[in-house]
Amino acid sequence: MLDPQARALLDLMIERQVPPVHTLGPVEARRLYRERRSFTQPDALAVGEVRELQARGPHGAIPLRLYRPHADADADLDANVNTVLPLLLYLHGGGWTIGDLDTHDVLCRQLCLGSGAAVLAVDYRMGPEHPFPAAVDDACAALRWARAQAGALGIDVARMAVGGDSAGGNLAAVLALIDRDGDRDGDRDGDREVVRDSPPLVFQLLIYPATDMRAVARSHLANAQGYLLTADSVAWYRGQYIADPAQWADWRASPLLAADLSRLPPALVLTAGFDPLRDEGRQYADALSAAGSVAQYVCFERQIHGFITMGRVIDEADTAVALCAAALRRAFGA
């Protein structure tokens, strides 16, 4: 059964004739996504510090936003200013086409406060202006920059995780694969500030991730229409990001197709029951486990794609955020 609150939201969207994303151009889709977020997202919670930053990327600056939690009220104030924290590098969802630092600001604040860790949100380049693998390249550059600047940012390089939702979950999974195989020295873009031989990532938070660009899992048929993310919108997003179907099988686009899923950071894979991406998220968790990597899998059976950012109208979003924050605390040893 679909969650009644999710059903009410879908009915309201039909009543108000919200245009499906696949009927829009990228610029209009981005504008509407930014505008609509206030109707479904809860109010932004205050955190200890928010800083607007930039990383040097392969094709220019990459905007970043750093969140740090409140200082411990029981500890010395001066000590808290320089507290070294674990870090979650967060990659927003939006089909590699829409979304930005503002659309996921509330979620990043929630994860920051719930986990007690710093969160670094990445405004990576998107399609169609910057097609695959531009987003992957920017994610890699952001991680290298975060490691290089860890001292200045008050970040513990031995306690760093990657995470994201939907397209961001895809990028986080790919980033974990690349990092395992040693892309930590910045040779690709000439960044010489990066710390050599930095510790591996300790966790990957994959929220309803896209893991197989072929879209062949059964849930793509079962949930093809009527649940916000449709077969048409999946195809639209994929087309904005990857114009050439021959690239769908590239593991940097479809991490489920990677030849080796062993020796990866522990993962929490979270999916939604009425989501076209449900089964490929489950398949990725199963493939991680089969390869010997630690993976936990949780499906919110009554939910739709995107629900974790909809806490104003869907109560189970708060449950999902709390689950993710608790997993991060455990991973960081907090």
pLDDT in tens, 246-297: 999 999 999 999 999 999 999 999 999 999 999 999 999 999 999 999 999 9
Looking at residue 306, what is its pLDDT? 98
What is the pTM assigned to this prediction? 0.94
Q: Which of 113, 4, 269 is nearest to 261 (CA)?
A: 269
Looking at residue 183, what is its pLDDT? 62
pLDDT in tens, 39-55: 999 999 999 999 999 99
Q: Which residue has the tokens 């040893």?
A: 333
Looking at residue 76, what is its pLDDT? 39
- Angle, CA 140 vertex, CA 70 and CA 37 arms, to 5°: 55
206 in Cβ contact with 270 (< 8 Å): yes
Please provide the distance, in angstroms rounded to a whole number, between the alpha carbons at the two ends of the chain.
36
d(CA 118, CA 272): 26
Containing H/E element for 331? helix 316-332
Q: How many domains does the chain have?
A: 1
Q: How confident is the model at residue 71 (pLDDT cuts 50, 70, 90)?
A: confident
d(CA 205, CA 305): 16
Q: Is the pLDDT of residue 119 over 60?
A: yes
Looking at residue 197, what is its pLDDT? 77
Looking at residue 82, what is its pLDDT? 66
d(CA 268, CA 281): 10
204 in Cβ contact with 172 (< 8 Å): yes
Looking at residue 198, what is its pLDDT? 87
Distance of CA 282 to CAs 17, 50, 181, 194, 214, Å? 33, 34, 24, 35, 15
Q: Which of 29, 24, 146 is nearest to 99 (CA)?
A: 29
C-alpha 256 chain-centroid distance: 16
Q: How confident is the model at residue 74 (pLDDT cuts 50, 70, 90)?
A: very low
251 in Cβ contact with 259 (< 8 Å): yes
Residue 59 lies in domain: 4-332
Reduced 3-state DSSP string for 34-45: HHHHHHHCCCCC
- CATH classification of the domain holding 84: 3.40.50.1820
As annotated, the active-site residues are 166, 275, 305
Q: Quote the tokens at residue 61.
A: 């600056």
